Structure 1
Amino acid sequence: ARSRATCLQQATFAYDGMAKLGEGDQRWIVKEREDGRNCNNWHWTSKDVSKNTKEELIRCLEACTFEPPIALARVKSAEVTGEASINNRKGKIFLIYDLEVKLKWEASDGEGGEACKGSMKLPDVSATMLDDLDCEFTCKSSGGVATAMRKQGVAAVRRCIEEAMLRMQEEVRAEKARPEAEAVAETCRPNATPAVAVPLPKPIAVSTVPAKQPPPQPKPAEPAAGSDSGEEEEGEDKLPPALEAALRGLRQEPEAQREVCLANCSLRDSHLEPLIQALHHSRCAVETLDLAFNRLSDAGVHVLCRAVASGCAMELSSLRLGGNKLSLAGLALGQSLKQSRPDLLVDLKPQLKDARSMCQVGNVYPGSPAATAGLRTGDSIIAFGPLLHAGFRGVSESIVPAVKASVGRPIDVVVVRMGEGAQVQQLALTLTPQTWSGGGLLGCILK
């Protein structure tokens, strides 16, 4: 029997989506089974459970309890909008949701005492934000009850939502308590019915008439002399060579790529889109993804975490993000992946794997580019741009040419430094070679 992958490789057209039985030209229908089932649930399946998820969350919110001094507070009404679905990939079931919660509350400190009412809005209830939900609190009163609701009340609502969603997520994983989860899980059970062989399609005649040549396009205007803005824009849009090589491997042989190392490759947020698309491949087998010491920001990590939480790279067990330009919020995003992918280890420690020292920093002159970048005497350089120890041939042969070719442009440098308490730490610095009042382009001695 010919598998679906083999049929697609031998077909002469780009195929997008799964063909449906009884529809379309039979020559191009790829049949895995006579009954059209997704055998062993290899391909992505999804079932909408928005209605039940919203109803369950509303029920939990209306039953939410508060502690003194707002023990008499209650949620009058709740409204939940958005989508939720149970998804299955390679036999793994998980709940994906993106909801918005609005509720009205009222509270008092006892019979005949102060009473007030207001509303709350939580605009982003999702797996990646579950442990740090934003809440817009509204109340026209300003007394003690209102203050308590703003603090303890908001915390109680957040806790109620988090517990409800985690409970539903666990029920989905356990394939119990919800009919939708059982329906999706049913497709995971192996079936002994053999696959159906599909005859190869007949060759399609290709016209030999040469294609009409498009009209010549005018040449773009050359930038003015001394301007390098065009070169800088092209440099930012161009994919780093290491990423291009990784993408080729993921697209051509996805099953063979178990580890993708893109550490210290000057990756930006804009470079993540093609990487995420490649990791969404149905046969992607990547287990380790190393993105340490790049130029990723909180926004890029947020996009990556959402993709991974939504089922991207289901075999992924280790994700390294240390050494990027992340704030505390960005670091929290990485940790929040444990909510939706408990089997995934997210390493936020700034550490280049298997790094070795290339050279050491000697004197650093005040006011120099090296001093501005934060280099210190005694630092050990383990990465200078894309240069690592394996390609290092000495300061004069490897680093000096790189410095001269990067005048006025930032270079990502990773150093090892002895910190307080004799702790060794790796630091990511940005060094920009340029002329200054002293000698050289760096203003330091490398030995």
Structure 2
Amino acid sequence: MKVSIGLITSQPHIPNLQIVESRLNKLCNIKYLIINKNEDIISHFIENFNEVDAFVFSGTLLHKYLTQNVDTAGKPCYVIYDYLANVYKEIFSIFMHNPHIEPNRVYIDFVNKDYIHEFEDIFQPDNMPYVFAHAPEDPLEYVEFVRNNHLRLWREKKIDLSITRFGMLTEELDKEGVNYHFIHPPVEYLMNLFMSVINEIKLMKLESNMMATVYIAPVAGTYKYLDNLEMDIKLLSIQRELLNLIKEGTYDFIIQSNSKRIEMHSTIEELMRLTDQFNTCEIRNFLKRNIDIDFSVGYGSGKNPTISKVNAQKAFAKSEESGGQYSYYKAEDIDSVICLGGENPQGQVFKSNPFVDSLATKLDLNPTYLYKTIIHATKIQSNKYTSQNLSSLLGISTRSGNRILNKLVEKGVATVNHIKNESKGRPIKEYRLLFLENDGSIKFS
């Protein structure tokens, strides 16, 4: 799950930010939104509102200007503040490496009434840098106030150096020939900030999507002679293999282990990718190929982590009952358990929804097929199938899938429509299941 970040910033901030981008390019995409004037802040925000997950501003005044003019609700916003310790460190480094520059010949444009006392404790009264404690509160007035100070003090030859954190001013300072030093937030600070943003956005995405949990453990009794330490080592080796699976498939899961089993957490979308729309148990297949023991695997989903874990536990218990022969999935919206990767063992699943069982009897169909189809339709939010994708879902031949769909049409619970074949061959038959709503949910009628 890559996070998309809109970075509203001035040009001088770019070099350090590009270092951060190069280190985090597997976790996020950064869209640089360069500002040359204040109006750019608003236009960049509005034009990219639906294109990014969050905005980062390279200064408090940029963000303050935006919030005074635009309602930012509904989009996370973060500000690059930099910490004062770094700012002081860089200021004193400037004086240390430039002993010919007297502090009272320097203008520092970001020292206001909140910080001036700290500078008064450091510099002698007759050798204080130029600072102006009482600056305007309004962002536009503040920037104009600072700009005028830089130019006036330089033109009046009262300063030899300006120290600034306002990237938008540097172009004009260059044109005026002002000798200035721009203070960049350090890469380490920016890394920490962006990692915090990425993690918060990922968490928000998980909370806004259906959650998914997977429980994995060797079949009961496989390692019964191992002590706790040896078991931990075995679980770590299994976890390492799972990390390889995640890497090879570019899946986005969080993997954790405890004393008895391994847990994986993500969204329902990632779970559907991992299981090929709930058709296979790639986890069990992968581990079997690489470790050659049997595993119990249970998948669960829900609108929050607790429900997702409870459902995964129910599915895991079913898998344990089968001795690891089958993997199971438990969804929140249908009170049943679905078997992944093979026919369902008789009498073990799909007993808890009277409507589905009654419909299966009426249609003379294996209820397993109906449960799989209904759960899948709910996830893809559609009630339309072709014989090809239905047969793939059920793990049967295309001919068998076609036979089932034709039976549904004969029973009056499906309609068929011919749609254009993209490969320019014969039109494809698309079946609409009438016992499902357009979004795939059950009609219950």
TM range (shorter): under 0.3
Using CA pairs under 8 Å that are at least 6 residues apart, name the structure with larger relative contact order, 1 or 2: 1
Give TM-score, length-normalised by structure 2. 0.22
More helix by share: 2
Give TM-score, length-normalised by structure 1. 0.22
